A = this chain, B = another copy of it.
Amino acid sequence: MRRIIERIWLPGDMIPNEIDLAKEFGCARATVNRAMRALADEGLLERRRKAGTRVALNPIRKATLEIPITRLEVEQRGGTWRHSVLERSEVVPPVSVASRLGLSDKIEMLHVRSLHYADNHPFLYEDRWVNLSEVAAICDVDLQEIDANEWLVQNTPLTKGDISFSAANATKQEAELLQTSEGEAIFVIDRTTWNGDVPVTIVRLAYAPGYRMHTEI
């Protein structure tokens, strides 16, 4: 890693083979192999069967993002978290939601809208749909006691997720809930989570103005 980030090995360069590296560093070949795999996972090396291993042409490390539990996120920022369930209903979803999940728009889903607070200031407005045929047990859960996301993470298999981040102008309703003005820029996360090929939940998270998502590489 040091040789790559200090550009001693330049982007595109072939690097020595594992046997030579093991000799140089005085370690087992398996150790070199493990290190190579880690560097390839981070995006610093490109490994090709037969063609050998090169320094990536754009050796930038990937950033990792935690997908946070809102309660923990607020607490990590030093705030006191609470949340308030604004709506909980079993209704047929709009076509836009059903079609993104590949579900029928005739079958009822759980619709939960809630507002999360940090130190009594609105922090996040959450609009969530849950596939009841996959997670019927949520019907018996008091979502004011434990928020839907935290309950789902702890009680349902979630094998994959699609996440997108974008900016949006606050609608009138969002502005009222987040105590800001209509049109104010807000940070939005749209996330769909699956168990295998079965959709579990789709959520839109609209953060109060000023929110920044931070990561390091």
Contacts and interface: CB of A to CB of B under 8 A. Distances in A.
Given A34-B34, A64-B62, A153-B60, A165 B184 contact: no
Contact of A58 (B59, B69, B183, B213): B69
A65 B42 CA distance: 10
Interface string A54-66: 0001111111111
A172 B65 CA distance: 32
A129 interface: no
Q: How large is the interface on A (under 10, 10 to 19, 20 to 34, 35 or more residues)?
A: 35 or more
B215 A65 contact: yes
Nearest to A72: B58
Given A64-B63, A167-B168, A168-B167, A155 B7 contact: yes
Given A160-B217, A161-B217, A165-B213, A11 B154 contact: yes
15 contacts: A10-B154, A34-B34, A61-B67, A65-B215, A160-B217, A163-B216, A163-B217, A164-B212, A165-B213, A166-B187, A166-B211, A167-B209, A168-B185, A169-B185, A185-B186
